[in-house]
Amino acid sequence: MRGYFGIGIEGASKPLNVGTLFRSAHAFGASFAFTVDADFREERSNITDTSKSGEQMPYYHFPDHENLFLPQGCRMVGVELTPDAIELPSFKHPSQAAYILGPERGNLSDEMQEKCDFIIKIPMSFCVNVAIAANIVMYDRVINLGRFAPRPVRAGAPTEPKPEAHYGGWISRTRDKRKGDPEKFRQAPPPDYSVIDGSLDDDDA
């Protein structure tokens, strides 16, 4: 699956929830995890983070939303039950994304929502545990961007095979015309690489 994602939580206070969230992030292949304005005992999160995710992927702690920074091109996706939020089943996940969830007993701050490129919501009657919500979002990303056999019309296993991976065509970067097609070489000779190599011809010396 192309791209990458990270996932984090704002205002976390319960280390067991944080540990569960980070363990799930590790299982789903997250590239990093983070917290913003968190207040919990990190060693307590290890009780539920049995995969020791901190040893397998980077973990970042940002003191507040103003000091939060992401890789270039990474889109921030907030998870919050707001009236105008995009419903998760209808959301196209960015290939490069960082998902941020609110605290256990609260919502994403207005300042954090302003930093988000998208706000999504899980269609349900009321909020669930933050770690559960994170799992739902990450699972949806996997089935949305991953390569799987299409679901069948009837109940049961898929009836069609998994789509084959498509790769780009072969590209030759050789400078030796003998390794390429001589006819194509005569039609379009390669550029002068002497400047790139740092070498000079006798006429240029």
pLDDT in tens, 42-77: 655 666 776 777 778 888 889 898 899 999 999 999
Neighbours of 64 (CB within 10 A): 12
60: nearest Cα among 95, 25, 106, 109: 25
With respect to residue 160, please indicate whether it lies within any of the assigned structural domains.
Answer: no
- Which residues on neighbouring strands pair with residue 36, listed in sequence order? 10, 62
CA distance 186 to 200: 23
With respect to residue 171, please indicate whether it lies within any of the assigned structural domains.
Answer: no
CATH classification at residue 106: 3.40.1280.10
Q: Which domain holds residue 129?
A: 4-145
Write down the pLDDT at residue 157: 87
Task: Name the stretches of the chain with pLDDT < 70.
Answer: 40-47, 50, 166-205
With respect to residue 10, please indicate whether it lies within any of the assigned structural domains.
Answer: yes
With respect to residue 14, please indicate whether it lies within any of the assigned structural domains.
Answer: yes
With respect to residue 198, please indicate whether it lies within any of the assigned structural domains.
Answer: no
Write down the pLDDT at residue 55: 78
134: nearest Cα among 52, 18, 36: 18
Which secondary structure element, helix H or strand E, spans residue 5, and what is its range?
strand 4-10
175-179 contact pairs (CB < 8 A, 24+): none
36: nearest Cα among 3, 4, 5, 70: 70
H runs (alpha helix) in the chain: 15-27, 42-45, 110-115, 130-145, 182-187, 194-197
With respect to residue 192, please indicate whether it lies within any of the assigned structural domains.
Answer: no
Determine contact, residues 24/51, Cβ cutoff 8 Å.
no
With respect to residue 204, please indicate whether it lies within any of the assigned structural domains.
Answer: no
**What is the chain's length?**
205
Q: Specify the number of domains making up the chain.
A: 1
Look-up: residue for tokens 């980070």?
22
With respect to residue 117, please indicate whether it lies within any of the assigned structural domains.
Answer: yes
Helices 15-27 & 130-145 angle (0-180, nearest 10):
10
33: nearest Cα among 5, 13, 12, 14: 5
